[in-house]
A and B are shown apart, each in its own frame.
Chain A
Amino acid sequence: MFSSHFCAAGIEKLDTPIFEIRSLKHSYAGKTVLEIEHLKVQPASILGLIGPNGSGKSSLLRLLGLIERPTHGEILFNGRRVEPFSDEARFLITLLPQEPFLMKRSVLNNVAYGLKLRGNGPAAVQQVDDALSLVGLPSKDFSRRPWYALSGGEAQRVALAARLALKPRVLLLDEPTASVDAASAQLIKEASLRARQELGTTLVVASHDWQWLYEICDEVLHLFNGRIFGTGQANIIFGPWQNLGTGKWGKLLADGQQLLVPDPPDRQAVGVIDVISVTADRAAMAGEGIVLSGIVSRLSLERKTGQLFASILVGDLPLTVGLALQQGREHTIFPGKPVFIGYRLDKVKWI
């Protein structure tokens, strides 16, 4: 299935990251939205980006997609410095923006647009057909349709087909499934994974669907306020924090439990809590610091490390904790199971 071209390129440049970011700082109207000291993305890998709205995911994707130029710092593609309109990159990198957007032309011409830019006009029809069928839109029904005669999910799939038809080296997806229905989301997920499998395309995916990301990604980065902090499962907890008296600070959860934290820098501070243990047996938690009770809501597997993650609902607050596969089995952790979690007060960090 692998084309020899991409295999060769992959072996040749195995040690060169496909993307490297150095001392990057990006701002809009004087406000810094992204600050990344150093980041490498390996070829043919899948990188996930998680973070709340406004955390800088889209900005990072727009910079990697060479839509914008960073205010400071540099982006290297295959070891070479690139910027918008760079000839060595513009045919190899493509970005699918979050909201479906099509140009005012037929589906066929929308999907063929990028191919025509590359001078592949005559061969386009076949490639367009292939790309449309990858996203589950039969070309005999869709290719003649005008841009306005499509549902939101169909428009987003046409937009993805326009990217897949280019057989890109890098496919950047900005919340590709956020504004479409479940069936479209499934087709979009399958088609993008197929690109990486068959062409060795590097994927960078921003999504709120963290379960999906942990399932497919080699690495997941957590973004918050324009900074990357941590590559694993981090629990970001927002203020306001209450002074509970006697020098204690915390948050009252919906079920009456108190999530204790050390002195916050201010009442609205954002904290990161590292859950260190989870067990069904309260007695086993002795000496584990703060213990809270909750219920397992989801389990997911991180593909690369084989690590199991459990999402535990404490009151109304979802907390994520990583467990060894063995631990998962021993404690028979499964969704719906009441459990206890432990964290250490001195390990709570403030952002």
Chain B
Amino acid sequence: MNFLLEGFFQAFHLLLSGSAETYSAIWATVKVSSYSIASSLLIGLPLGFCLGYFDFRGKKPLRTIVDTLMALPTVFIGLLVYAFLTHRGPLGNLGLLFSLPGIAIGQTILALPLVIGLSATAVESLDQKLRTTILSLGANRRQLFLSTLWESRHGILAGAIAAYGRVMTEVGISMMVGGNIKWHTRTITTAIALETNKGQFGMGVALGLVLLAIALCVNVLVSFLRRRY
């Protein structure tokens, strides 16, 4: 088990000495996960809210489909996105294969069902009494809609965090669509996979710690927001 402990010390050394290669992977991860979470929230929140808020024909089957897609395997998304972006694929001329935006597309597909499903659940689980209260105080349709959205904020935030966690820690899409190119598309997770293969545990542990630290920061920020609002 010595090599793990050594890896642990090496991790601090790498982080504190500002190893350019390490920081390049960290930066790539932060960038690509920010892209993908932002776009999945932008698309998924309105869809999820509508799915939870309105009653329409075919709502139940649609819910089942969304819930199933929450379990999409990352390598399968990687495969599909690869197939589309590869130079023989329908979107090949965009030149997105082996680029950070390419990974972000795949991760958006990964996060979207989570954002839609969890925000729909957040809206559905609101108390029936909320609607009565808002209406009894004189809201019109638009105000009812906005107040309902605001009241479901905590549930929606929880969904966003779950999606962010999934996006930041996935390997399959980053590896297949990004190609793990050093200084370019190498993210924290693909770097860990590679370094482990090479027997370089120090680098792997260092990157793993960074991943945890990012998760900690996000959660601290969120719990601050929850207390404040």
Contact = CB atoms under 8 A, between A and B. Distances in A.
B61 interface: no
A95 interface: yes
Summarize A's interface: helix, strand, loop or mixed.
Answer: loop
A114 B129 contact: no
Contact of B129 (A99, A113, A163): A99
Interface stretch (B35-43, B130-138, B206-214): B130-138
Interface in A59-88: 62, 65-67, 84-85, 87
Nearest to A97: B132
A90 B57 CA distance: 30
A166 B137 contact: yes
Contacts of A95: 132, 136
A276 interface: no
Contacts of B138: 90-91, 94, 114, 117-118, 166
A163 B147 CA distance: 17
B125 interface: no
Contacts of A162: 137
Nearest to A95: B136
B137 A113 contact: yes
Interface in A117-144: 117-118
B41 to A, nearest CB: 21
A78 to B, nearest CB: 16
Contacts of B130: 101, 103
A84 B137 contact: no
B119 to A, nearest CB: 16
B48 to A, nearest CB: 19
A96 B154 contact: no
B55 interface: no
Nearest to A101: B129
A90 B135 CA distance: 8
B132 A62 contact: yes
A103 B136 contact: no
Interface residues of B, number: 19
B143 interface: yes
A104 interface: yes
A101 B127 contact: yes
A118 B139 CA distance: 9
B137 A101 contact: no
A67 B137 contact: no
Contacts of B129: 97, 99, 101
Contacts of B154: 104
A67 B132 contact: yes
Contacts of B136: 65, 67, 94-97, 163
Contacts of A114: 137-138
Contact of B147 (A84, A102, A103): A103
Contacts of A84: 135
A120 to B, nearest CB: 11
B6 interface: no
B17 interface: no
B139 A101 contact: no
Contacts of B137: 94, 113-114, 117, 162-163, 166
A158 to B, nearest CB: 11
Contacts of A66: 135
Interface string B107-137: 0000000000000000000010111111111
A66 B129 CA distance: 14
Interface of B: 127, 129-141, 143, 147, 151, 153-154
Interface of A: 62, 65-67, 84-85, 87, 90-91, 94-97, 99, 101-104, 113-114, 117-118, 159, 162-163, 166
10 contacts: A67-B132, A87-B140, A90-B139, A95-B132, A101-B130, A103-B151, A104-B151, A117-B140, A117-B143, A118-B138
Given A65-B135, A90-B138, A117-B138, 5 more contacts: A67-B131, A91-B138, A97-B133, A101-B129, A114-B137
10 nearest interchain CB pairs? A114-B137, A101-B129, A95-B136, A90-B138, A91-B138, A67-B135, A117-B138, A94-B136, A97-B132, A101-B133
